[in-house]
Structures are given as C-alpha cells and as structure tokens.
Amino acid sequence: MVGIGFRREMAEALLSGDHLRPEFIEFAPENWMGIGGYWKKILHQAVERYPVLCHGLSLSIGSPEPLDMEFLRYIRSFLDEYQVRIYSEHLSYSKCDNAHMYDLLPIPFRMDAVKHISERIQQVQEFLQRPLVMEIVSYYTPVAAEMSEVDFINEIAQRSGCQLLLDVNNVYVNAFNHQYDAKQFIAALPADKVAYIHMAGHEQVAPDLIIDTHGQAVIDPVYELFDWAIQRLKPVPVLLERDFNFPQLEELQGEIHRLQSICQKHWHAKHALTA
C-alpha cells in the first residue's frame, strides 16, 4: 500500500477521489484530537473511505521527565476509536521541563540513553497495548555520541521490542550530511523490524548541507535508494510525505504511482517466487 498524509488542504480531493487516490491516509493524532463540528465530520468521512495509520508528533520519547500519561490516554482513545493499525513516532525529543519545541532534536547516541528510551518505549507499548514504531529521524549534528547511529537504533529496537519506521529520505539526508554510505546503514538495520516506510523531498541549502523539508518532490537518488532498500524488506505500508508547498494534485498522484510501481516490481515478483 502507498498512502499520503491527510492535510486539510487536500481533504476535498481525498474524499472525492477525483485526482488523488492513495491506498491509505496518515493522521497526526495531535492535529485532530478533541475537534468537533465540520472537521470532525470530515475526519469521520475520511476514516470511512480509507485505512488510517497514525504518525505522532508530541510523544518526545527522548525527554528526561516522566511520560505524559494524560496525553497517552488521548492517544489510546484516538487509536481505538479509529481502529488504527500502526502508530509511529520519532526517535528524538521535542520538550523538556515543560518547554515544547517545534523541532525534533537528536538524542545522544549513548548506552544510558538507550536504557532510558527503551524503558519508556516499553511503558508506552504496554499502555497502548500495541507496538510502537520508531522513526529514524534526520539530524544535523550528533550530540555527545559514544556509539554509531545504527548501533544506537539497533540496541533500542532489540531492548524495547519496538518496530522501525524507515524514512528513506532521512537516511539519504543523514548520509549526505554526515558522509556515510546510506546503503550500508540500511543493510545494518534489522530488516524484520521495519514496519513502515516514509518517502519525502528535501532541499539542498549548501554544497555540504541538505535539509529535510517535506516541501519538495522526491528526487531520483532517493527513489533509487528506496528501490534498493525494499528489495531487502518484507512488504510494508509506504507513505508519501508532503507538508507544504503543495503542487498540482496530479503531480502528487504521479509520485504515488511511481512508488506503487517500484513496490509492485519487487514485492509482487518476490511473492510470486516464494508462493
């Protein structure tokens, strides 16, 4: 399945299906919890038309303070009400001492952070009664690192039992900015843990710096990395992310078609060989 993030700017097109026809949609629960009136009605119509996955923004799994249990109760209620199969979040932090930030900040690649985050992931999973899918985020500087990024991710996945969201664009961005091999990084991840994939665009702002923006079309090298990666993975949902600077809907549908074509080329062929 290839889906797209549900944005209010696209709501009418997604409900009509005239120009945009994803196979599922993704919500950020924080953007829809507690709403009523017109947009509550739109939300229900969207859920009736499409399978829904959820991608959170505010869990802040890397924060030092205790988990926000009131927030998690809202999340559990939302996931249950809309029968959401996958709930993913970011392997990062975004708040500390009641200071909330818009950015997803990098966690130090250290064993004490592994222990802290793994325990918090287990708490969340037990409370929500479903696995948490952690996204490999883009970052622009490592902080007090004592181990490699991929070792850090693998330790957390092993200790917590969480699943992984492979954002192929994030890996491409990190590999470019920190000068490592993106394919070697993906090959070192536990393939059986990857439950969800994101694809997005980015912007190069300097000869040696790419910023993950979700505001541009996916570029060919990221499609090529995606093509290489999914040959090593089991079939999982794939999301096209576009948060602003929206093009004509036909262009977005063209990106969805391109992702579907790559998935069908590898995953359908592999299924036929093993059936």
**pLDDT (tens digit per residue) in 216-243:** 999 999 999 999 999 999 999 999 999 8
Q: Would you give the end-to-end CA distance of the chain in angstroms? A: 20
pLDDT of residue 100: 76
pLDDT of residue 123: 97
Q: Which distant-in-sequence residues (6+ apart) come within 8 Å of 243 by Cβ?
A: 5, 7, 213, 214, 215
At residue 115, φ and ψ (nearest 5 deg) are: -65, -45
pLDDT of residue 40: 93
Predicted TM-score (pTM) of the model is 0.94
The torsion region of residue 42 among left (phi > 0), alpha (psi -120 to 50) and beta comes to alpha
**pLDDT (tens digit per residue) in 174-214:** 999 999 999 999 999 999 999 999 999 999 999 999 999 99
Crossing angle between the packed helical segments 220-230 and 249-263, to the nearest 10 degrees: 30
Question: What is the spatial distance between Cα 231 and Cα 99, in angstroms, rounded to a whole number?
Answer: 42
Low-confidence ranges of the chain (pLDDT < 70): 102, 269-275
C-alpha angle 47-50-61 in degrees, rounded to nearest 5: 70
DSSP per-residue codes, 19-80:
S---S-EEE-GGGTTT--HHHHHHHHHHHHHS-EEEE-SS--TT-SSPP-HHHHHHHHHHHH
Q: How many residues does the chain have?
A: 275
